[in-house]
Homo-oligomer: A and B are copies of this chain.
């Protein structure tokens, strides 16, 4: 994994990393003079491994070389600590403000850095999206043929530029179909179709194979949708290289290839991932963000908004998506900047103009008609259907993903899996006009009103063609549903928005046609036409609207998005008129879906992958208190009734460090014997009164430095975490001062605090661990891992 190595170099530039530590020491002195030292003056190198991933490699020997990287891979960041570091940095710069002009300039640059950074991100995200859209369309058309004289044009532009009148069935004479290449022109014969079919399949398999090869060789993180991981990263998880430049490049190329291959996948989810890669890469231009994981997430949050903005041409929807789904610690603070970023990205995409029109939105819909109140019933039915289909999809996809994960055959051979899936998809979808065309143009066709059709559209024909189309739609729905279950999760870049919208649009159109036919039949019955104040087929029962509502319903059922989904659909149509149908469908879909299973597809994948994600929504009505969840756990008795002797017993289970009295050797053996990632520091083993907290990494680093730089420090030296350090102990070795690495402001709760409050603290304050106390004595510790474990146990009960 060469790429991962490169990315992490970016993140751990030694010289820059060391600076804040030096600064904090200076500041420490200032602040002590000002009255009390702040908790922000401890060493910034430490990290607690509070998830399942253990850093076993630094266990065997205490004398490990210092880590310059702030957080290890798969670790969770400490929001409070990182933000404290940023405040320190900010104070430094504010002080320099008086130095004219350099200090002032630096201060101004610092204040504007966030805006400049998101401006760049927006520009880059818009441009990237435009290029990918153009590339994907060109390659997608390659499956059927090539532009004769200008091979770089896609079919539409080829036919436009060729200026000939023969333009039917989406084709023209300038567009050379593959069978023509081998001099076979009789397009109505079976052999023609067979040759075309073979070419179709070969191209599709070739593209997807190329995509999976790129991903496997260069950037394993480039596969999938990326949204589950983005959610975790924004919640404070560190996955090195996930947002690196190699992931970006390979995912962009792979996305063009995979979406051109005709697989049942979308570009929209990966676009969010790509935008976040861009955000991450640009943040390194601004040390304020690049070197501070917590601050960097402000940029990433804006980037996610830009990603949705370019994916759907919906800037407001993007901001709300970022707010509802992605952001974690600062939902409101960065909203304005996210909006700016999303808007810039949307404008740039419009300049690139990949959709070939002046429309900013992915599907331009322009209904001028009204829906009637009675139609809310079929809309609600669509919502119901969406909820059920979505839950079914999640269930099946997760089962298959788990099987893939555990199966040696599938897990080890992603290339064969992709090839097989592509082969099946291409082979079957060729025969259905709805699955054969790209998902986007299928959705556009389903959304459209009948009047707008220039060419003949079987969906708008009132004769036999409609019933054939109806059957084709039904078949397309079933096929799409089954193949998408197996497609989402293969090792190519693949999103789920467009397949979901596609399924929903088909289902909606099917219902729309049915309702339309029923209304027509009723109206045709003598004496019933007066029931209708609207003209059927003209200004009531519009199957295109049903398709749109169905799309929202299924997308809602799969992702469980709410406001952002409705707003995205609103921005697609630009009319307040259709918010109500969309909203009704989304509400029913969400209710039914949540009734079947609480988790959306992203949450389900997060759980499948075991990421430490603590959902920022949802309520947990548990009747549990902190002492029942903490470690060491109290089995014998409830904490409530503990006597002093019980406390003493418990103490032996909790590894603590005393404020003074422990020797360097004691500390080293404690580190060797345990694998905890941090230790409470107490006044004495007897009293257990809490003084502070120290992380394993900090103490390792400190002891290492002490052994190296202070030769008079020996194994018998007594380590002091307190203030009253004797200058020298008569007859003993020199004391070791460790006060500065001690976190004097650990978060604490009492043993009787309800778990809901503790969970609230973890979510809202971005904690990694909390100490449990009773009457001022430390009883235990609760980490984020414990919380997640507890919630999972409770949920499964």
Contact flag A627-B36 (CB < 8 Å), given A319-B563, A340-B587:
yes
B38 close to A625 (CB less than 8 A): yes
**Least CB separation from A750: chain B residue:** B745
Please pick, from B35, B360, B628, the residue contacting A36 in the complex, using a CB distance under 8 A.
B628
A623 close to B744 (CB less than 8 A): no
Taking chain A's interface residues, is the majority helix, strand, or loop, or is none over half, making it mixed?
Answer: helix
Cβ of A529 under 8 Å from chain B? no
Cβ of A648 under 8 Å from chain B? no
Cβ of A764 under 8 Å from chain B? yes
A335 close to B563 (CB less than 8 A): yes
Could you tell me which residues of chain A, from 545 to 570, have a CB within 8 Å of some CB in chain B?
Answer: 562-563, 566-567, 570
A35 close to B628 (CB less than 8 A): yes
What residues of B have a CB within 8 angstroms of the CB of A587 in the complex?
A: 340
Please pick, from B621, B750, B765, the residue contacting A91 in the complex, using a CB distance under 8 A.
B621
Please pick, from B36, B360, B760, B761, the residue contacting A638 in the complex, using a CB distance under 8 A.
B36
Please pick, from B340, B347, B752, the residue contacting A745 in the complex, using a CB distance under 8 A.
B752
B335 close to A562 (CB less than 8 A): yes
A757 close to B745 (CB less than 8 A): yes
Could you tell me which residues of chain A, from 314 to 354, have a CB within 8 Å of some CB in chain B?
Answer: 315-316, 319, 323-324, 331-333, 335-336, 339-340, 343, 346-347
Report Cα–Cα, A315/B447, bound state, in Å: 24
Cβ of A723 under 8 Å from chain B? yes
Please pick, from B36, B747, B756, B760, the residue contacting A625 in the complex, using a CB distance under 8 A.
B36
What residues of B have a CB within 8 angstroms of the CB of A40 in the complex?
A: 754
Report Cα–Cα, A756/B745, bound state, in Å: 12
Report Cα–Cα, A34/B34, bound state, in Å: 49
Report Cα–Cα, A626/B91, bound state, in Å: 19
Cβ of A186 under 8 Å from chain B? no
B640 close to A36 (CB less than 8 A): yes
Cβ of A748 under 8 Å from chain B? yes
A579 close to B691 (CB less than 8 A): no
Cβ of A372 under 8 Å from chain B? no
Report Cα–Cα, A360/B35, bound state, in Å: 59
Please pick, from B34, B94, B323, B753, the residue contacting A332 in the complex, using a CB distance under 8 A.
B323
Distance between A321 CB and nearest chain B CB, rounded to angstroms: 12
What's the number of copies of this chain in the assembled complex? 2
Report Cα–Cα, A300/B571, bound state, in Å: 27
Cβ of A574 under 8 Å from chain B? yes
What residues of B have a CB within 8 angstroms of the CB of A775 in the complex?
A: 683, 689-691, 776
Cβ of A478 under 8 Å from chain B? no
**Least CB separation from A742: chain B residue:** B752
B752 close to A744 (CB less than 8 A): yes
Interface residues on A, range: 35 or more
Cβ of A777 under 8 Å from chain B? yes
**Least CB separation from A722: chain B residue:** B775
Distance between A742 CB and nearest chain B CB, rounded to angstroms: 9
What residues of B have a CB within 8 angstroms of the CB of A623 in the complex?
A: 27, 30-31, 34, 38, 91
**Least CB separation from A80: chain B residue:** B757
Could you tell me which residues of chain A, from 751 to 776, have a CB within 8 Å of some CB in chain B?
Answer: 751-754, 756-757, 760-761, 764-765, 773, 775-776
Contact flag A332-B617 (CB < 8 Å), given A744-B752, A757-B80, A765-B760:
yes
A638 close to B35 (CB less than 8 A): yes
Report Cα–Cα, A570/B316, bound state, in Å: 10
What residues of B have a CB within 8 angstroms of the CB of A617 in the complex?
A: 332-333
Could you tell me which residues of chain A, from 225 to 249, have a CB within 8 Å of some CB in chain B?
Answer: none
Cβ of A39 under 8 Å from chain B? yes
A750 close to B746 (CB less than 8 A): yes
**Least CB separation from A626: chain B residue:** B745
Distance between A251 CB and nearest chain B CB, rounded to angstroms: 28
What residues of B have a CB within 8 angstroms of the CB of A27 in the complex?
A: 623
What residues of B have a CB within 8 angstroms of the CB of A748 in the complex?
A: 748-750, 773
Please pick, from B571, B583, B765, the residue contacting A761 in the complex, using a CB distance under 8 A.
B765
Could you tell me which residues of chain A, from 573 to 599, have a CB within 8 Å of some CB in chain B?
Answer: 574-576, 579-580, 583, 587, 590
Interface centre among A346, A579, A776 (most CB of B within 10 A): A776
Cβ of A37 under 8 Å from chain B? yes
Distance between A312 CB and nearest chain B CB, rounded to angstroms: 12
Cβ of A428 under 8 Å from chain B? no
Contact flag A756-B580 (CB < 8 Å), given A32-B640, A567-B316:
no
Report Cα–Cα, A575/B30, bound state, in Å: 54
Report Cα–Cα, A323/B638, bound state, in Å: 42
**Least CB separation from A561: chain B residue:** B336
Distance between A326 CB and nearest chain B CB, rounded to angstroms: 12
What residues of B have a CB within 8 angstroms of the CB of A84 in the complex?
A: 754, 756-757
What residues of B have a CB within 8 angstroms of the CB of A323 in the complex?
A: 323, 332
Cβ of A641 under 8 Å from chain B? yes
Distance between A678 CB and nearest chain B CB, rounded to angstroms: 16
Cβ of A83 under 8 Å from chain B? yes
Could you tell me which residues of chain A, from 524 to 554, have a CB within 8 Å of some CB in chain B?
Answer: none
Distance between A630 CB and nearest chain B CB, rounded to angstroms: 11
Report Cα–Cα, A31/B626, bound state, in Å: 13
Q: Please, what's the 1-or-0 string for A35-72, where 1 marks a CB less than 8 Å from any CB in chain B?
A: 11111100000000000000000000000000000000
Please pick, from B83, B750, B765, the residue contacting A764 in the complex, using a CB distance under 8 A.
B765
**Least CB separation from A567: chain B residue:** B316
A754 close to B316 (CB less than 8 A): no
What residues of B have a CB within 8 angstroms of the CB of A347 in the complex?
A: 580
Could you tell me which residues of chain A, from 1 to 47, have a CB within 8 Å of some CB in chain B?
Answer: 27, 30-32, 34-40
Distance between A17 CB and nearest chain B CB, rounded to angstroms: 22
Cβ of A90 under 8 Å from chain B? yes
Q: List 9 A-B contacts (CB under 8 A).
A: A35-B628, A323-B323, A331-B332, A336-B563, A343-B579, A625-B745, A745-B750, A745-B752, A761-B765
Supply 14 further A-B pairs (C-beta < 8 A) apart from A776-B776, A776-B777.
Answer: A35-B638, A39-B625, A90-B621, A91-B621, A94-B621, A331-B332, A333-B617, A347-B580, A641-B723, A692-B750, A745-B749, A745-B750, A748-B773, A760-B765
